[in-house]
A and B are shown apart, each in its own frame.
Chain A
Amino acid sequence: MNQHDPTATTSDTQGQKPATTPQKWAVWSAQPTSPAATETTNQTTAHYAGSAVRQTLRRFMRMRASVVCCVLLLLLTTVSVAAPLLATHDPDATDLSSSLVSPSGDHWLGTDQIGRDTYSRLIYAGRVSLLAAVEALVVSVGIGLPLGLVAGFARGKTDAIISAVTDAVMAMPGLLLAIAIIGAIGPGLTNAMIAVGVLLSPRFVRLVRASVISVRENAYIEAAITSGTSPVRIMGRHVIPNILPPLLVQAAFTTGFAMLAEASLSFLGLGVQPPQASWGSMLNSAYQTINQSSFQPIPPGIAIAVAVLAFNVIGDGLRASIGREEYRS
């Protein structure tokens, strides 16, 4: 990345000053900035970028556990998307004559208290759980990325305030704070995931801030600042590509954590509202009938554990294979 950026800066300056005199062109042409030359540099950049992605992929593929988890997650997503095709019963159809039956040929994972097919409900609930986790991730990146960029770039008072608030949020018990926020804005899956997203955003603020601070030490950023490139452009062109690897790693972990949070809140009845179900709420209703059927809590519980595990292991694998040497551990 590093060695190509000066070229990028040069083309920046050119783009901003199209009305350069021929004399100035003479000076510039000492450097390879003729259209043809620029093209070659771009190709080299593309070549390098391609090989970086390929290298990362190769390193990642070597980590068997992470690859298995990727496949697992793909499978979960496919099953959730194709739930209408794969379900054997209507997930909301009740049948009181066959409540809490054990797994059988007709009901693969048995039924719940009011005779709904657990297998069909499980794959439909997967949609809700996965989507909710992604919702929270989007909220937390949406808050964390800009705040982290601002804190890292502005430094001084702005940074001090943002960092203090970040510290305070991180110091608080997340689940309790999420519950408190839901208490104010009211229960419901969207509200719950907004609360979770807000509470997870400090992770991104810290990460992005630290990355920005370390990236802006580089000489080419200083050069870009001196040559009058706008901060927004510097962030878009130089900073964000540099912080993408650690951001991806954190995103994997955060999605797993958001899933856990969704399951917890829905278990407590503060997230998803009936008749819609997520794995967390299924676990709760199964727990209510634990004396009659001790099997029912198992499928949703395993589903949550497996999904969270998959995100964590993928995060571990990404951390070990992505980005520059110093990011890996």
Chain B
Amino acid sequence: MTNNTAATRTTATDGGIGNEAEVVSPLRTIARMVARRLARSVVLLFIVSIAAFGLIWLVPGNPASTLAGEFPSQEEIAAVESALGLDAPPHRQYIDWLGSALTGDLGESLRSGRSVSSEITARLPVTLSITFFAVVFALLVAVPVGTLAAVRRGSLSDRLLTVGSTLGVATPSFFVAILLVIFVALNSDFFPATGYVGPSESIYDWVRHNTLPGIALGLALAAELARQIRSALIDVLRSDYVRTARAKGIPERIVLTKHAYKNSALPVVTILGAQIATLVGGTVIIESIFAMPGIGGLAISSVLSQDIPVIQGIVLVVGALVVAVNTLVDISYGFFDPRTRQ
């Protein structure tokens, strides 16, 4: 899947310019590259916003009477209708919704009546924390394991990595989470099984509460990354310039850190970017297991009560975040690897 993404990215960007890019100064090429990626992300955001808003059209029957709760009165239906702006034509509704969304107003929850944007901003730090811990855990595991397997190719540790990463990718994160609760949280006081503490209250408690969720969420990513680092490193270690470096008598440790890592970093960054969406989606279920008050919990409770404005807001905000991260990754890729600029 990730290979697919990379391939499409390059094909999507190599239209048009061709040979003239050789004459243009590097700065202009970079500026063009950034502009192109930004334009692409605007298109993506536009589609995401339509998808988020369009959820209302998927509600079966008359949305207003379905969403007004059980046995609504005529007034209640009318209230929902005007709250959602359902009395206007569809394109008008979308433009109004997007217009206020751009100013930070995502409407009010149908159930609690609270502002959707403040509900989301209150819960976003929890989701971002779990994602952050997952990425840190994945890197901490994948870099040494992948390196070891690449350096000692064919050895026992290499084969263990292959088996381990296949298992790691297939094991559902929520099963890992449950295993961690059974075997770690229930047996020790250090890692709690539930709850969340923000970093502003206590860094120490923040780490304690986020470690197990981070591991559960990050395990599949660690497996995937370790595999990629291994194959990227193997490719680099076979290359001519590494042979030259070794022939010059540079110690293996320096060959790895100075030459090999730099060139195998790009595929790793690409995968990280591609996996961000999966990670953020995965937090939904991890939050529910560890009873953490994040976006996921909000999404589930609003889905169960068909609180459409909240769901729309979550899809829009999370979608925008993911598109932003991916655009940054794309742009950084262009900076590091001149070949992808065109």
Task: Give chain A's interface residues, CB within 8 Å of chain B.
Answer: 163-165, 167-177, 179-187, 203, 206-207, 210, 253, 256, 260, 263-264, 267-270, 283, 287, 290-291, 294, 297, 301, 304-305, 308-309, 312-313, 316
Q: How far is the CB of B299 from chain A (nearest CB, A)?
A: 5
The answer to whether B175 and A173 have CB atoms under 8 Å apart is no
The answer to whether the Cβ of B133 comes within 8 Å of any Cβ in the partner chain is: no
Interface contact B58-A173, CB-CB below 8 Å: no
B188 contacts the other chain (CB 8 A): no
Min distance, Cβ A276 to any Cβ of chain B, angstroms: 18
Residues B300 and A179 in contact, CB atoms below 8 Å apart: yes
Check B284–A179 contact: CB distance below 8 A: yes
Q: From B55, B60, B171, B282, give the contact of A180 (CB < 8 A).
A: B55
Cβ contact within 8 Å between A270 and B303: yes
On whether the beta carbons of B281 and A173 are closer than 8 Å, the reply is yes
CB atoms of B51 and A268 under 8 A apart: no
What are the interface flags for B276-313 relative to A under an 8 Å C-beta threshold, 1 for contact and 0 otherwise? Answer: 01101110110011000000100110111011100100
- Contact: A287 with B284, CB < 8 Å? no
Q: Could you say which of A163, A173, A180, A263 contacts B322, with CB atoms under 8 Å apart? A: A173
A177 to B307, CA, bound (A): 15
Complex contact A308–B299 (CB within 8 A): no
- Give Cα A294 to B315, complex, Å: 35
CB neighbours (8 Å) of B319 from chain A are 171-172
Question: Which of B89-97, B100-108, B177-185, B197-205 lies at the interface with chain A?
Answer: B177-185
User: Taking the nearest CB of chain A, how far is it from the CB of B328, in angstroms?
Assistant: 13
* A150, B29: Cα distance in complex, Å: 34
* A-B contacts, 30 listed (Cβ < 8 Å): A167-B44, A168-B44, A168-B48, A171-B48, A171-B326, A173-B277, A175-B281, A175-B285, A176-B314, A177-B315, A179-B303, A180-B52, A180-B314, A183-B308, A184-B55, A185-B60, A187-B304, A263-B172, A264-B174, A267-B174, A268-B285, A268-B300, A270-B303, A283-B178, A291-B186, A294-B182, A297-B179, A301-B175, A308-B170, A309-B167
Asked whether B140 is an interface residue with its Cβ less than 8 Å from the other chain, the reply is no
**Please, which residue of chain B has its CB at the minimum distance from the CB of A307?**
B170
**Interface majority SS (helix, strand, loop, mixed), chain A:** helix
Q: Which of A177, A206, A267, A316 contacts B285 (CB 8 A)?
A: A267
Q: B17-54 CB contact bits vs A (8 Å, 1 = yes)?
A: 00000000000000000000000000110011001100
Contacts A184-B311, A290-B181, A301-B175 given: A171-B302 contact, CB under 8 Å?
A: no
- Chain A neighbourhood of B12, CB < 8 A: 163
For residue A264, which residues in chain B have a CB less than 8 angstroms away from its CB?
172, 174, 285
Once the chains are docked, how many angstroms separate the CA of A269 from the CA of B55?
20
B172–A290 touching, CB < 8 Å: no
Residue of B nearest to A195 (CB): B58
Residues of B within 8 A of A203 (CB): 1, 4
In the complex, the chain B residue whose C-beta lies closest to that of A313 is B166
Residue of A nearest to B288 (CB): A268
User: Which residues in A have their C-beta under 8 angstroms from that of B282?
Assistant: 173, 175
Q: Are B59 and A173 in contact (CB under 8 A)?
A: no
**Residues on B with beta carbons closer than 8 Å to the beta carbon of A263:** 172, 174
B307 vs chain A, min Cβ distance (A): 8
B86 within 8 A of A: no
Could you say which residues of chain B place their CB within 8 Å of the CB of A169? 51
A165 to B299 CA separation, bound complex (whole angstroms): 23
Which chain A residues lie closer than 8 Å to B169 at the CB level?
312
A304 touches B314 (CB 8 A): no
Q: Is B323 an interface residue (CB 8 A)?
A: yes
B155, CB-defined interface residue at 8 Å: no
Decide if A171 touches B175 in the complex (CB within 8 Å).
Answer: no
Which residues of B have CB within 8 Å of A167? 8, 44, 47
A-B pairs with lowest CB-CB distance, top 3:
A173-B281, A183-B303, A309-B170
Q: Taking CB as reference atom, which chain A residue is nearest B310? A: A183
A283-B175 contact in complex given A172-B277, A176-B299, A313-B166, C-beta closer than 8 Å: yes
CA of A253 to CA of B4 in the docked complex: distance in angstroms?
A: 14
In B308-342, the 8 Å CB interface with A consists of 308, 311, 314-315, 318-319, 322-323, 326
A309 to B168, CA, bound (A): 9
Asked if B280 and A170 make an inter-chain contact with CB atoms under 8 angstroms apart, the answer reads no
Q: Give chain B residues whose Cβ lies under 8 Å from the Cβ of A168.
A: 44, 47-48, 51
